[in-house]
A and B are shown apart, each in its own frame.
Chain A
Amino acid sequence: MRNIYGITAYMQRGLPVSYDRTILFFIFFTVSLLLCLSGPARAEEYTFDISETEKKPYHIGGYAELRPVLLGLDKNAALYKLKFYNRDEGTALEEYNATLQLEGSLEKGIARLFFRTNTVYKESYLGSDHQTTIYEGFLSLKPSSSLTIDMGKRTLRWGKGYAWNPVAFVDRPKDPDEPDLNLEGFIVASADYIKSFDGPLKTLSFTPVIVPVYEHVNDTFGDINRLNFAGKLYLLLYDTDIDFIIFAGGSKTTRYGMDFSRNLTANFEIHGEFAFINDFKMRFSDSNGNSFEKKYDAKSYLIGTRYLTERDTTYIFEYYYNGTGFTAEEMRDYFSFINKGYGTYLSSGNDTLLKRASAITEGNYGRINPMRDYLYLRISQKEPFDILYFTPSITGILDLNDRSFSLSPELLYTAITNLELRLKASFIAGERPSEFGEKQNDYRLDLRARYYF
């Protein structure tokens, strides 16, 4: 190896012009042979500009994204009727989305200010619309490596599940179809206290959180004029991540949770979550639109695994039991009510029932995955056929209660620095009435070009 580098250095200095061609050819041949035999070509110079590592007290970054979407409509589906009963938009809809997500930080001493905003411009059958939301904006104080205090709007993202997080008591629900997307946070005051140990218990950290809910402050979180408390105790015990979680305060009923995650082998991980929700209030409707409310202690749980094969195929598999979800019968009643309302509208032009159906949909039947039992499977193959930076994957979500499902193949390509290209399709299938069978779309095509800066 040292010889190779010596020759390389000699080449870089240049050869005397008086050497005849035979000698030059011989040297060239010998050098080429040595370089070939020695593995990768090392004549190349690699540079590392140290200025790249200098830290600035501020940072501005984010991404800009363009995302055209094509939606294939199912005109016989209940949710199509609910949304489009008084308009005809044809068999397919086009939608054009442009997103700018900006984030920045300013650091001085133990203090750091951070913000993340999300601006979406959308052009759809409803016309054009744009909205800017502050996802996060908080002040962070770090008096020592054991203690961090944060105040402001932030996301906590509690839980170990990939598609669902029943223990994320202080977060907005994530979309299992896009679980990696940023979410809008809530205004909180929180702290992280960390302690490390030798022995089976390697880490202990405690995260207390205060969640104020007042008019104009987190007023979508739950009942207003309440100060809520949440806490998370994290342990790394016997190489297992374990969290114990609690939420209390009145804006929502008291709830308890725990989660865990552990690598059984170098390529096989298991995780789980369990949530107990005290006195959960469920609003539901019968097929005639009569509303009822029931109160019960709800238990939700999730068990999942992540498995990586020798061929770099990753399987993520989860089972989710949603104790706050509707039974198949309750969902059937809801869809029947919509169909009844649609029938009334067609016969009389009276949309009162459909408007009532809309009112009980929002935040209730209209939740993401509103039923009880779900299976999630995502299979992704890293760089098949030796194509670097190319990852095809397929995701399936199955509603076990009515056997309806969605299937989403996608292609991700990241060869160009800072540019991420993704083509995703989603197909849904299910009998009527069923969760996926009654959705307004039959299919969806989604192209996303995202540039990070």
Chain B
Amino acid sequence: MIRIALVLISLLCAVPVYAIDGTALLKQVDRNLNPETYESYRKLINIEPDGRKKEYTLFTVKKGEDKLAALFLAPASEKGRSTLRLGDNMWLYIPNVGKPIRITSLQSVIGGVFNNADILNLDYAAEYDVEKVEEKGSEYLLHLKAKTKTVAYDRLRLWADKNKKLPAKIECLTEAHMLIKTLYFAEVKDFGGGIVRPSVIETDSPLYKGYKSVMIFAKIRKRELKDEVFTLTFMPNIESLR
């Protein structure tokens, strides 16, 4: 009798456990990282093992799930280059060449550890399905699988802060679970307009031992943009959006 009473009491006292909706969580992480439609500035720094650095400054605009464009502002050798992403389609416009050419997500327009997919990254939920969510202390660990073969990394392991629902670390893996690179999110900052997110992403890669890349964000703000801005024909004119 005492045993039955104890079981009943423990059942009543038990905290209800809900299955975590991985997709909703990933969408929340996406929204906390960026508004759906926004503009921002970024600095990319490639750091070599001997400490030498190479820096790039970009202006970025994004609309909805699959439209993103970036314009290089510095250094002078890259100024005026722009990249456009419409879903799986990516183009690079080089002022000297004078016309946009199709590029692939795995290519790197600047060299270094970041590739096009890192620079022109869409919402994670747009490109990945959540296979599994684990709770790891103060963090969630989301196991993500690419929706299509055209996505640069087949698998991601995303650690997100439970309270802030912001990513802390992302491991990018091949289909065979080989680690390609790791992104570390740091220095959460209030950008205004309700946008509070990491302002620095560091990257290292076992493929580039000793090298690392850093991306610093500034002036992230919501902005209404026309669809026509995200077209091949508009690429030489992205500067006019600033």
A binding-site residues for B, Cβ under 8 Å: 1, 5, 39-40, 42, 46-48, 50, 52-53, 55, 61, 63, 103, 107, 112, 140, 142, 144-146, 148, 155-160, 162, 179-183, 192, 194-196, 202-203, 205, 207, 234, 236, 239, 241, 261-263, 265-269, 271, 306, 308, 312, 314, 382-383, 386, 388-389, 414-415, 417-420, 452-453
Q: Report if B97 contacts A (CB, 8 A).
A: yes
Residues of A close to B219: CB separation below 8 A? 50, 53
**Neighbouring A residues of B90 by C-beta, 8 Å:** 263
* Pick from A52, A103, A267: contact of B106, CB under 8 Å: A267
Q: Contact between A196 and B228 (Cβ–Cβ < 8 Å)?
A: yes
Cβ–Cβ contact B214 & A46, under 8 A: yes
Provided the pairs A53-B59, A146-B228, A202-B86 are in contact, do residues A234 and B107 lie with their beta carbons within 8 angstroms?
Answer: no
A124 to B121, CA, bound (A): 50
CB distance from A118 to the nearest CB of B (A): 11
A156 / chain B contacts, CB cutoff of 8 Å: 98
Q: Does the CB pair B233–A207 fall under 8 Å?
A: yes
Residues of A within 8 Å of B95, CB to CB, are 103
12 example contacts (A-B, Cβ-Cβ < 8 A) are as follows A39-B202, A48-B41, A50-B41, A52-B73, A140-B237, A158-B99, A180-B96, A234-B233, A262-B102, A265-B149, A383-B111, A418-B76
A389 to B52 Cα, complex, angstroms: 12
CA distance A389 to B219 in the complex (A): 29
**B184–A205 touching, CB < 8 Å:** no
Name the distance in Å between A385's Cβ and chain B's nearest Cβ.
Answer: 12
Contact of A181 with B96 in the complex, beta carbons under 8 Å = yes
Minimal Cβ-Cβ distance residue in A for B115: A312
> In the complex, which residues of chain A have a beta carbon less than 8 angstroms from the beta carbon of B203?
40
Residue B169 at the chain A interface, CB threshold 8 Å: yes
Bin the interface of chain B by size.
35 or more
Give A162's nearest chain B residue, CB to CB: B101
Query: Which of chain A's residues have a CB closer than 8 A to the CB of B73?
Result: 52-53
Q: Are A55 and B242 in contact (CB under 8 A)?
A: yes
B residues touching A (Cβ–Cβ < 8 Å)?
Answer: 41, 43, 45-46, 48, 52, 54-55, 57, 59, 73-77, 79, 86-90, 94-99, 101-102, 104-108, 111-112, 149-152, 168-169, 182, 184, 186-187, 200, 202-204, 208-209, 211-212, 214, 216-219, 226-234, 237, 240, 242
Does B231 lie within 8 Å of A40, measured CB to CB? Answer: no
Q: Decide: B226 and A142 in contact? CB cutoff 8 A.
A: no
Contact B186 A48 (CB under 8 A): no
CA distance A267 to B90 in the complex (A): 11
Asked whether A417 and B98 contact (CB < 8 A) given A1-B184, A239-B87, A265-B150, the answer is: no
Q: Which residues of B contact A262 (CB under 8 A)?
A: 102
Q: Are B209 and A386 in contact (CB under 8 A)?
A: yes
Cβ-defined contact, A266 with B233, below 8 A: no
Check B59 against A269 for contact (C-beta < 8 Å): no
Given contacts A261-B102, A266-B149, 19 further A-B contacts (CB under 8 A): A52-B73, A53-B59, A61-B76, A157-B99, A180-B94, A180-B96, A182-B98, A192-B233, A192-B234, A196-B230, A236-B89, A239-B89, A261-B101, A388-B111, A389-B111, A415-B52, A418-B75, A420-B77, A452-B79
| Residue among B55, B73, B96, B151 having the largest count of chain A Cβ atoms under 10 Å | B96
B216 touches A48 (CB 8 A): yes
CB distance from A170 to the nearest CB of B (A): 12
Report how far A148 CA is from B112 CA in the complex, Å: 35
A61 neighbours in B (Cβ, 8 Å): 76, 79
Nearest CB in chain B: distance from A222 CB, A: 21
**Which residues does chain B contribute within 8 Å of A263, judged by CB atoms?**
88-90, 102, 104, 150
**Chain A: which residue is nearest B52 at the CB level?**
A415
- Among candidates B48, B94, B111, B231, residue contacting A236 with C-beta atoms closer than 8 Å: B231
* Smallest CB gap from B214: residue in A: A46
Chain B residues with CB below 8 A from A415, complex form: 52, 54
In the complex the two chains form, is B76's CB within 8 Å of A452's CB?
yes
Q: How far is B104's CA from A312's CA once the two chains are assembled, in angstroms? A: 11
Q: Are B169 and A1 in contact (CB under 8 A)?
A: yes
Q: A192: which B residues are within 8 A, CB to CB?
A: 233-234
A134 to chain B, nearest CB (A): 15
The reply to whether B149 and A145 form a contact with Cβ atoms under 8 Å apart is no
Tell me, in angstroms, the Cα distance from A45 to B8 when the chains sit together.
56
Residues of A within 8 A of B214 (CB): 46
The 3 residue pairs across chains A and B that have the minimum distance between CB atoms: A196-B227, A157-B98, A452-B77
Question: Please, how many angstroms separate the alpha-carbon atoms of A50 and B108 in the complex?
Answer: 25
Q: Which of A142, A144, A179, A269 is in CB contact (< 8 Å) with B104?
A: A269
User: In the complex, what residues of B have CB within 8 A of residue A47's CB?
Assistant: 216
Task: Give, as a whole number of angstroms, the nearest-CB distance from B116 to chain A.
Answer: 10
Q: Is B202's CB under 8 angstroms from A194's CB?
A: no
- Chain B neighbourhood of A269, CB < 8 A: 102, 104
- Asked if residues B211 and A388 are in contact (CB atoms below 8 Å), the reply is yes
Given contacts A61-B76, A263-B102, contact A145 B86 (CB under 8 A): no
Q: Report Cα–Cα, A267/B151, bound state, in Å.
A: 10
* A195 and B228 contact, CB distance less than 8 A: yes
Task: Name the B residues within 8 Å of A268 (CB-CB).
Answer: 104
- A285 to B24 CA separation, bound complex (whole angstroms): 74
For A146, the chain B residues whose CB sits under 8 A away are: 226, 228
A46/B228 contact (C-beta < 8 A), A112-B240, A269-B104, A388-B211 known: no
A417 touches B77 (CB 8 A): yes
Cβ distance B75 to chain A, nearest Cβ, rounded Å: 5
Q: Which one of B43, B151, B228, B234 contacts A48 once the chains associate, using CB atoms below 8 Å? A: B43
A417 is contacted by which of B54, B151, B152, B211 (Cβ under 8 Å)? Answer: B54
> Quick check: B55 and A417 within 8 Å, CB to CB?
yes
Among A112, A145, A306, contact of B102 (Cβ-Cβ < 8 Å): A306
